[in-house]
Copies of this chain bind each other. A is one copy, B any other.
Amino acid sequence: MNTIAIIGSGAIGGFYGAMLARAGNDVRFLMRSDLATVRANGLRVRAPFGEFRIERPTAAATTEELGPVDLVIVAWKTTANRELPRVLPPLLHERTAVLTLQNGLGAEEEVADVVGAERTLGGLCFVGINRTEPGLIVNPVEGAITVGEFGRPASERLREIVALFQAAGIKARATDNLAEERWKKLVWNVPFNGVTIAAGGITTDRVLADEGLRRLSRELMTEVLQGAAALGFTIPESYADFQMARTPPLGAYKPSSLLDWQAGRELEVESIWGEPVRRAAAAGRALPRMEMLYFLLRALAAQNPRQR
């Protein structure tokens, strides 16, 4: 497996694509806004171990130009997934696997609707990567990714993908239960990606310094656990305590959604807040604070983009 297409040239796609290209894989990027810059200047990455540049990456504005590959990595925002039915088919050969590295819940389902469940995998990125300008990706700390099959335990194919990442210098691990991992990631993302925006655009340290917002964040974590439990995933309260405890060291941190919000970009409201609320409700569990956060963020997002 070494022909790889990257869908989306934002922070995640740019970083993992560049790392995989640097390791000798044939990586092809679907790009829109960054295409001209990357064709002219290459793709630059500032990683924890130093800076490097992919001088002449294969990049195009359509997947027809990229052609069939062994692995597709979907790395744009979930709000762009309505374009998957147009974008994915030209990339497929008989055994192409499609790995979505997107946030929240629902991405695997959206990919599977186009390419079939058997081709679909998903992953979660635990990183703080930024695309600070077109063609420049900045990743200050070594992150990690967790990847899994969609609705199945880890497979031989999955282990090959993990090995591919690891060979490229990316910390990666396989999971047998991708769906549970997604709920676990929501334990932090639901409160902090949301409350930082709803409370006026403030960093996580200021959320924690406000007694009410701190309590609200912890209560939202409990609601995520309740939603997960309604769907059969048992995550202990101690996991939420751990997620609270790991936040102060982040300092004046801006979660990715807050960065999106402040830049006037679309918010992943449905995948991070809407879909979890709907799945919990369908399983008979109301999550009042999380639903309220969803409603407020959806309304705020409808007013974006605006200058702040």
Contacts and interface: CB of A to CB of B under 8 A. Distances in A.
Interface of A: 195, 198-200, 202, 210, 212-213, 215-216, 219, 288-289, 291-296, 298-300, 302-303
B200 A299 contact: yes
A298 B212 contact: yes
Nearest to A215: B295
A199 B299 contact: yes
Number of copies: 2
A293 to B, nearest CB: 8
B300 A212 contact: no
Nearest to A298: B212
Given A198-B296, A199-B299, A213-B295, 19 more contacts: A199-B300, A200-B299, A200-B300, A202-B299, A210-B299, A210-B302, A212-B291, A212-B298, A212-B299, A213-B296, A215-B295, A216-B291, A216-B292, A216-B296, A219-B288, A288-B288, A289-B289, A289-B292, A296-B296
Grouping DSSP codes into helix (H, G, I), strand (E, B) and loop, the A interface class, with mixed when no group exceeds half, is: helix
Contacts of A195: 296
A233 B91 CA distance: 65
A140 to B, nearest CB: 28
A209 to B, nearest CB: 10
A200 B298 contact: no
30 contacts: A198-B198, A199-B296, A199-B299, A199-B300, A200-B299, A202-B299, A202-B303, A210-B295, A210-B298, A210-B299, A210-B302, A212-B291, A212-B295, A212-B298, A212-B299, A213-B295, A213-B296, A213-B299, A215-B295, A216-B291, A216-B292, A216-B295, A216-B296, A219-B288, A288-B288, A288-B289, A289-B292, A292-B292, A292-B293, A296-B296
Contacts of A198: 198, 296
A295 B213 CA distance: 6
